[in-house]
Amino acid sequence: MRIAFFGDVVGKCGRNAAIEYIRTNRVKYGFDFIIVNGENAAHGFGITQRICDKFFEVGVDVITLGNHSFDQKDDLAMFERERRLIRPLNYPRRTPGRGFVVADAHGLLGRKVMVVNVMGRLFMEENDDPFVVMTDLLSEYKLTVNVDAIFVDCHAEATAEKTALARYFDGKISALIGTHTHAPTADLQILSRGTGFLSDCGMCGDYDSCIGMDDESPIKRFTSKVDAYAKMIPAQKEATVCGVVVDVGNNGLCSNIQTIRVGGFLKEQKDCLGRF
């Protein structure tokens, strides 16, 4: 089974680039299951039903989120009715929506993928312990027993926390891929018990920017208390599409993992899956 995952989609240019890449390459590269982190998709802050629908139309199976999950407050009922949209599992119990979903893989009869969204706590907002909530979840869902793959989007600031989570659950999940920092890292690997790991897969957005935002507002925030709340606006030049592809064997563990990094201002990865 081949799972494709695309990192934080930032603004219109990131949405358009990710959608075009998926539309062009879903069949070409044999993606059986597609996941997108969409927490910055709506002008950099949150997501809307209209944007969700655009991703689903091109074959996205699940959309994960993060600390900007509820920035678009006009339609919070979306989180209850749209089971393919998940927010962090370790949010407080009364939070709208759900933190994981089990869905069918394309064209693979009976093959089920569980996607989990968890958020870190270091340098982030207060949330439940991700180690505890993941342990509870994995006591119910097990590889090769009731799911064929378990993919975790770990939305966190600290590399050490993401690494610790991956190593703690090594062998119990197919892959743990980090999001949130918008900067792709170079620590792609398969851990000793078979879990694929990358501490951050980067964003789908304009890298000629300050992590996807037009330079002016972030610089003002860092250089002046007066401008500490200057409005952030997504950059809108050519986007780079960043993500990973995880191949999962019959044992539910990662047999191969490779990056996607194409277009825009970042240097293309030589081992990535080609340009759109």
- Residues noted as catalytic: 68
49-57 vs 11-25: helix crossing angle, rounded to 10: 20
C-alpha distances (whole Å) from 88 to each of 33, 133, 259, 274 are 20, 10, 24, 31
- State the SS3 of 68-81: CCCCCHHHCCHHHH
Q: What is the per-residue burial (b if ≥16 Cβ within 10 Å, else e) of 58-75?
A: bbbbbbbbbbbbbebeee
Contact (Cβ atoms closer than 8 angstroms) between residue 219 and residue 199: no
251 three-state secondary structure: coil
56 three-state secondary structure: helix
CA–CA separation, 38 vs 263, rounded Å?
19
Contact (Cβ atoms closer than 8 angstroms) between residue 155 and residue 123: no
Contact (Cβ atoms closer than 8 angstroms) between residue 276 and residue 20: yes
Contact (Cβ atoms closer than 8 angstroms) between residue 170 and residue 163: no
* Lookup: tokens for 246: 């995880």
